[in-house]
Amino acid sequence: MKVLVAVKRVIDYNVKVRVKPDNTGVDLANVKMAMNPFCEIAVEEAVRLKEKGVASEIVVVTIGPKASQEQIRTALALGADRGIHIETDEEVQSLEAAKLLKSVVEKEEPKLVILGKQSIDSDNNQTGQMLAALTGMGQGTFASEVVVEGDKVQVTREIDGGLMTVGLKLPAVVTTDLRLNEPRYASLPNIMKAKKKPLETMSPADLGVEITSRLSTLKVEAPASRQAGIKVADVAELVDKLKNEAKVI
C-alpha cells in the first residue's frame, strides 16, 4: 500500500527564538531550520512500514517556500521514494494546509497518511485532524503504536491519563507522538542517492486551492520574564522559604 507523509520545515527545536522588535513575528533570518521533529517520526514510521513489507511506496509532501525542498530531500534520504513540493511563499494556515493535502490525497490515493501531531512553531495540533475530516477518513492522533492488519489499522494513542487503542478503517490519517519511534539518521550514501529521487513541484493553484488567511496575527510578543530567583544553601532553608516567604506549603 502507498503511504503519504507530510513534513514541515520549521526552526530547529534547539534554537531559542527571538521576537522581532516591531512585534510582527519571530525573527527567522539566519536561523537554523530543520524538519519538524514530529514529522521525522512520521517519516521513520513510514520507512519501518516499508521495511516490514506493509508499505510499497512512500510519498513525502511539503508545503512552503523553495527552501522546503531540503526537508523533502532529508525525507528521501531517510527512505521515502519520491517527493511532492507545493511551493508557496505565503503563510499557509492549518485549514488551507489540510485542503492542499486533501488534493494530494485525491491524486495519490494513499491507504495511510502520516503527519506529526503538531509543528513546534505554531503549536496548533490541527492539520492531521482537519485532513481526516476533509477526506472523510478516520483519525488516529498522538500515536505511540501503529499496527496495520488487512484493511484496518490499530493505533495506540497517548491520551490524558494513559493510553487508548482504536481501530480505523483504511484509508486513515495517523498523527505521531514522540514515543512512536526513534528516527534514524541519514547516511551519506543515502543523502547522495536522495538527490536522484523524483521530486515534483506544484503550486496551490495547480491543486485548485486558494491560500486565504482566516486568522490574522495582530502582534507577537516575548513572554513575561520571571523575576530572578535566589539560591538557597540547604534543604532546611528551602522549606523555610517555601513556607514562610512564598507561603505555598
Q: Interaction with another protein in 78-117: which residues (CB under 8 A)? A: 93-95, 98, 117
Q: Among residues 36 and 71, whose Cβ is nearest to another protein?
A: 36
Nearer to another protein, 184 or 241 (CB): 241
Looking at the Cβ atoms of 11 and 80, the one nearer to another protein is: 11
Residues β-bridged to residue 5: 60, 114
- Using an 8 Å Cβ cutoff, are 117 and 128 in contact? yes
Residue 67 interacting with another protein (CB under 8 A): no
On the 0-12 / 13-18 / 19+ scale of CB atoms within 10 A, 197 is middle
**Region 194-233 residues binding another protein, contact defined as CB under 8 A:** 213-223, 226-227, 229-232
- Of 145, 115, 120, the C-alpha closest to 130 is 115
As measured in angstroms, the least distance from the Cβ of 30 to another protein is: 17
Considering only residues 177 to 196 of the shown chain, the ones binding another protein according to CB under 8 A are: 177-179
Stretch that binds another protein, among 46-54, 65-73, 155-163, 196-204 (CB under 8 A): 155-163
Distance CA 184, CA 43 (A): 10
Taking CB under 8 A as the rule, does residue 123 contact another protein? yes
What's the alpha-carbon Rg for the chain, to the nearest Å? Answer: 21
Closest approach of another protein to the CB of residue 45, in Å: 16
CB of 151 to another protein, least distance (A): 12
Q: Does 77 bind another protein (CB under 8 A)?
A: no
Using an 8 Å Cβ cutoff, are 103 and 210 in contact? no
Q: What angle do CA 84, 17, 131 make, to 5 degrees?
A: 35
Q: How far apart (Å, rounded) are the C-alpha atoms in residues 157 and 139?
A: 10
Write down the least CB distance from residue 28 to another protein, Å.
Answer: 11
Q: What is the distance between the alpha carbons of residues 248 and 159, in angstroms, rounded to a whole number?
A: 30
The answer to whether 76 and 83 are in contact (CB under 8 A) is: yes
- Minimum Å gap between C-beta 16 and another protein is 7
Q: Are 200 and 166 in contact (CB under 8 A)?
A: no
68 binds another protein (CB under 8 A): no
Nearer to another protein, 70 or 121 (CB): 121
CB of 149 to another protein, least distance (A): 12
